[in-house]
């Protein structure tokens, strides 16, 4: 018989032995007095009742030491047969992974380790499957991500990430709440996939007999709350984008979106710095990069010039200069778009310290308000935390005036390539945008042409 089957059979035999002793092998509530971390914090003084999972088991004849762990930490537990008598016989039916509860006085070993001297013992739950191999943990990447519970069980680092994430979200809520931001929840099923350019997941509402889309962004609903008079709102939201998948990109992910009336993108940059600074300080986080605030703020074209010694804003042959730099691109791009390709290839990977890249060209930010003193520059900032992380934060001012024909045309052109890939998702949105354009934008030749091409790509040309 294979070793694994031997282990499983042995555990089931112990399960039956527990039943014969009148022990319920899959127990009920256990009234502990302390979490394990709290018991360790008592420094070896006092009496406690703790419970957890057996993660280490060392027998020495009539004594035994157990490593017991709950979500808060680990503690050593000391058993003596001459003190526990028949309870020790029950203890001998324990395996790694079983859940038990113990009570007794705390003491310190010769090495100073806080331990529990067991005087009372309760068997809680029998584990019928063996734990992953003890010393090396769970190393297979696919198993770690598919069976997250095994990863948590085997790897201390994974548990620390989960605990830290919970602490981070609590602290974010504390900071934003202290500044008067109201946490809200917006719909996750929407009639129109809006707020971003992404391919949505489609579901069907049986009662309404209509297709709905899982949220790709909460933006549109958060803006409506501003219209309704809630000046400061935020949401930690789950989004779903039916696109690629990798270890760094999950189609289901959490994002924080914050909106404030009467403010600008400088406010959001300051808020971002304060959030990160507070998290690092209050949670004693040790970042790999220096996150000391204030962070560097550099204009898009200035950053390009620092790296390439080329003034791309006044350059007459952008394509030629970028080719000399060894940057390649696909498609028929404008000069500004080619400059952006150079920025992403040459500048962004070298932004090691936290940096706000500001003053982006308005041409590549069609849904952002432009600077009053320079309409060619958008009031937008992209923040890069460290090399290789990409954009972590986008702070920008929303355009609140009537859209121009050129601005709307630029927006529709930006959507055009996406629509040809998945036109079905845009069918309903196409009609809504068409009606909106006809209501608020005076027609011009360029808008007429772009809108016609857009509707044709979405399969709506017959209704245009």
Nearest-angstrom CA–CA distance, 438 and 17: 78
**199: phi > 0 → left, psi -120 to 50 → alpha, else beta; which?**
beta
Q: Which of 32, 57, 60 is nearest to 47 (CA)?
A: 32
Q: What is the largest CA-CA distance in the chain?
A: 95
69's enclosing H/E stretch is strand 63-70
Residues 6+ apart with CB under 8 A from 302: none
Can you say how many angstroms the Cα of residue 424 is from the centroid of all Cα atoms in its chain? 29
Q: Which fold has domain 285-401?
A: BirA Bifunctional Protein; domain 2 (3.30.930)
Nearest-angstrom CA–CA distance, 210 and 136: 51
| One pLDDT digit (tens) per residue for the chain, 464 residues | 456 667 789 999 999 999 999 999 998 899 999 999 999 999 999 999 999 999 999 988 889 999 999 999 999 999 999 999 989 999 999 999 999 999 999 999 999 999 999 999 999 999 998 887 654 556 677 777 778 888 888 888 888 889 999 999 999 999 999 999 999 999 999 988 888 778 899 999 999 999 999 999 999 899 999 999 999 999 999 999 998 777 677 899 999 999 999 999 999 999 999 999 999 999 998 887 788 899 999 999 999 999 999 999 999 999 999 999 999 998 888 999 999 999 999 998 888 888 999 999 988 887 788 888 998 999 888 877 655 556 788 888 887 776 555 566 566 555 554 444 444 444 444 444 544 444 444 445 555 665 666 566 555 554 44
Region(s) of the chain under CATH 3.30.930.10: 285-401
Region(s) of the chain under CATH 2.40.50.140: 3-125
- Token representation of residue 412: 């529709």
What 8-state DSSP symbol labels residue 373? S
> What is the pLDDT, as a whole number, of residue 217?
92
Nearest-angstrom CA–CA distance, 52 and 98: 8
Superfamily of segment(s) 3-125:
Nucleic acid-binding proteins (2.40.50.140)
Q: Which of 27, 4, 6, 153 is nearest to 90 (CA)?
A: 27
Residues 6+ apart with CB under 8 A from 40: 73, 75, 114
Q: Which of 205, 220, 204, 214 is nearest to 239 (CA)?
A: 214
> What is the pLDDT, as a whole number, of residue 406?
59
- Token representation of residue 319: 């394509």
Asked whether the CA dihedral 415, 418, 420, 423 is positive or negative, the reply is negative
Other C-beta atoms lying within 10 Å of the C-beta of residue 230 = 15
What's the predicted TM-score (pTM) here? 0.80
- Exposed/middle/buried for residue 85 (C-beta within 10 Å: 0-12, 13-18, 19+): exposed
Helix (H, G, I), strand (E, B) or coil at 260: strand
Nearest-angstrom CA–CA distance, 274 and 340: 29
Q: Does residue 117 contact residue 104 with C-beta atoms inside 8 Å?
A: yes
> What is the pLDDT, as a whole number, of residue 103?
97
Nearest-angstrom CA–CA distance, 137 and 144: 10
- Exposed/middle/buried for residue 67 (C-beta within 10 Å: 0-12, 13-18, 19+): middle
Asked whether the CA dihedral 432, 435, 439, 444 is positive or negative, the reply is positive
CA distances from 175 to 234, 270, 275, 282 (A): 12, 13, 7, 11
């Amino acid at each position: 018989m294979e070793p694994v089957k031997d282990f499983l059979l042995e555990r089931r035999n112990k399960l039956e032995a527990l039943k014969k002793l009148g022990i319920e092998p899959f127990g009920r509530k256990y009234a502990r007095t302390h979490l394990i971390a709290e018991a360790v914090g008592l420094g070896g003084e006092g009496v406690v009742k703790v419970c957890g999972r057996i993660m280490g088991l060392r027998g020495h004849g009539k004594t035994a030491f157990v490593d017991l762990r709950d979500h808060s930490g680990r503690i050593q537990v000391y058993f003596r047969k001459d003190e526990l008598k028949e309870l020790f016989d029950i203890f001998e039916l324990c395996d790694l992974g079983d859940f038990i509860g113990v009570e007794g006085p705390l003491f310190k070993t010769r090495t100073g380790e806080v331990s529990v001297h067991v005087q009372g013992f309760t068997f809680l739950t029998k584990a019928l499957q063996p734990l992953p191999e003890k010393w090396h943990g769970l190393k297979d990447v696919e198993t770690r991500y598919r069976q997250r519970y095994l990863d948590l069980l085997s790897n201390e680092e994974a548990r620390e990430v989960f605990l830290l994430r919970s602490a981070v979200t609590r602290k974010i809520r504390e900071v934003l709440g202290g500044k008067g931001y109201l946490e809200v929840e917006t719909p996750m099923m929407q009639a129109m996939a809006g707020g971003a350019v992404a391919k949505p997941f489609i579901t069907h509402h049986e009662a309404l007999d209509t297709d709905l889309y899982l949220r790709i962004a909460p933006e549109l609903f958060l803006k409506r709350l501003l219209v309704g008079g809630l000046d400061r709102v935020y949401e930690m939201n789950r989004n779903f984008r039916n696109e690629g998948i990798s270890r760094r990109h999950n189609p289901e992910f959490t994002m924080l979106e914050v909106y404030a009336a009467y403010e600008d993108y400088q406010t959001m940059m300051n808020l971002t710095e304060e959030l990160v600074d507070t998290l690092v300080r209050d949670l004693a986080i040790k970042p790999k990069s220096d996150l000391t605030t204030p962070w560097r703020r550099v204009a898009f074209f200035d950053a390009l010039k620092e790296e390439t010694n080329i003034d791309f804003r006044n350059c007459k042959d952008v394509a030629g200069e970028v080719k000399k730099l060894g940057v390649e691109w696909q498609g028929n791009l404008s000069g500004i778009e080619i400059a952006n390709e150079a920025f992403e290839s040459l500048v962004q990977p070298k932004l090691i310290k936290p940096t706000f890249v500001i003053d982006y060209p308005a041409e590549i930010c069609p849904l952002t308000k432009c600077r009053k003193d320079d309409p060619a520059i958008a009031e937008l900032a992209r923040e890069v935390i460290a090399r290789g992380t990409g954009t972590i934060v986008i702070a920008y001012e929303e355009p609140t005036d009537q859209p121009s024909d050129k601005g709307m045309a630029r927006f529709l052109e930006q959507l055009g390539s996406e629509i040809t890939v998945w036109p079905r998702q845009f069918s309903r949105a196409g009609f809504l945008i068409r009606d909106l354009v006809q209501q608020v934008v005076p027609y011009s030749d360029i808008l007429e042409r772009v809108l016609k091409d857009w509707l044709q790509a979405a399969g709506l040309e017959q209704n245009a």
